[in-house]
Amino acid sequence: MAAVPDIELADGRRIPQIGLGVLRIADDQTGQVVESALSLGYRHIDTAAGYQNEAGVGRGLKAAGYDTGSRRESIWLTTKLRDSEQGYDSALRAFDRQIGLLGTDYVDMYMIHWPTPFDWRAAETWKAFQELRQQQRVRTLGVCNFLVEDLERLHRETGEYPAVNQIELHPTWQQRDLVAFCRSRKIAVEAYSPLARGADLSAGQGVIDRIAEEKGCSPAQVVLRWHIENGTIIIPKSVHAERQKENLDLFGFSLTEQERAAIDALDGPVRAGHDPRTYSYA
């Protein structure tokens, strides 16, 4: 497999374009999953306080030898703040707990998990994030699920855009206006649910299957390659080593212009996940 490329962020740091997501993996299983991914070549792990498996991630990092020193510097570790802990003082306290669970001195990226516009505390939370960055306990600041109006409000109140916006993004939910806004402000786009939890593999009456057959790869690889060619950071989840390996193996083929257009045409009006205007991950 070819090496996974990096995406350069607005703050000058570089993030591996493919990471491992660990949403909905039990804490007692997460260590083994993370250790497997690292052994296969993953250098980017994405977790969150709300996933309740940061301790498992920490165990996996330690077991694989990536918790300290130069090996720790060679990977990218992301975690996210619980929405219920937004705010200046509460965010600082939360980070202390989270870094203890992860068992490392710093995280590469700390993110606000949801914008919660109905209980907006992102600006004061961001000040805590900036303090953590100044202390070098956090290297890059990001957000998840922020819409254009949320990004504009954060910038208006803090003078800063996040380096990354992690959003639901896949062929049937492409969020083109939001993606265009992010790119115009040098905000890197990171896709969670890049396969729509598997639903997009059968979208378009066999479009993905036909492309996969032509390329001699799996339907999942076709969709993930589409993300790669769009310049999107992706964090597909798998607990199985063979699937983890497959999700990294995206660089031995490319899509034609016609194939990309066929996948682009799958865009639709219905998301698979939650609406950021109303949802909170407590």
Active site residue 106: no
Candidate list 51, 66, 192, 281, residue with the active-site label: 51
**142 and 78 in contact (C-beta within 8 Å)?**
yes
22-50 per-residue burial string, b: 16 or more CB within 10 A, e: under 16: beebebeebbbbbbbbbebebbbbbbbbb
Strand 20-21 with 44-46, pairing = parallel
Residues 4 and 18 sit within 8 Å (Cβ to Cβ): yes
Phi, psi of 18 (to 5 degrees): -115, 130
Q: Are 139 and 164 in contact (CB under 8 A)?
A: no
Strand partners, 45: 20, 77
For residue 215, give the H/E element and its range. Answer: helix 207-215
Kindly tell me the sign of the dihedral angle through the C-alpha atoms of 89, 92, 94, 100: negative
Active site residues: 51
